[in-house]
């Protein structure tokens, strides 16, 4: 694998995990949002990753031999959780239903924090890979001196 391919694969992982961290941050920020413009409580969101073959551009695809094992990651969808909201009895809340219950988002803070740690570590792993690739390229250039 050449240096530019390694950098493209690492950067795709960084981009995908940045999107995942933004989505998780949104979930945490809206953990108590009971009323959204769409109506009802906030719905938890989750990103879907897909591995796709690494392709540079159309011309390079036609003129070079494919590297079958090299894949990069891409966010293909953002799913909205359809779990039932959590109901809490708070008759004085402005968003309370006639029976006194308020619908809160079905978001587990511990699960979201665990997902954030995983996404952060995956991002950091891609940063380390990119740094190692850069160091190898610089070392290869130093050989000629």
pLDDT tens sequence across 120-134: 999 999 999 999 989
Distances, alpha carbon 122 to alpha carbons 12, 20, 118, 136, in Å: 12, 10, 6, 21
pLDDT higher at 54 or 44: 44
pLDDT tens sequence across 59-84: 665 666 655 567 788 899 999 999 99
Hey, what's the torsion of the CAs at 117, 121, 72, 46, to 10 degrees? Answer: 0
pLDDT tens sequence across 9-43: 888 899 999 999 999 999 999 999 999 998 889 99
CB 24 within 8 A of CB 116: yes
């Amino acid at each position: 694998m050449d240096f530019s391919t390694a950098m493209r694969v690492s950067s795709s992982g960084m981009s995908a995990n940045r999107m995942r961290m933004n989505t998780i941050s949104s979930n945490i920020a809206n953990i108590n949002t009971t009323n959204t413009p769409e109506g009802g409580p906030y719905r938890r969101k989750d990103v879907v990753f897909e591995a796709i073959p690494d392709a540079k551009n159309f011309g390079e695809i036609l003129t070079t031999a494919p590297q079958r094992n090299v894949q990069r990651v891409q966010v293909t969808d953002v799913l909205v959780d359809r779990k039932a909201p959590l109901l809490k009895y708070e008759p004085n809340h402005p968003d309370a239903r006639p029976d006194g219950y308020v619908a809160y988002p079905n978001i587990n803070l511990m699960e979201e924090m665990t997902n954030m740690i995983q996404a952060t570590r995956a991002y950091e792993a891609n940063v380390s890979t990119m740094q190692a690739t850069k160091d190898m390229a610089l070392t290869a250039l130093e050989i000629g001196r």
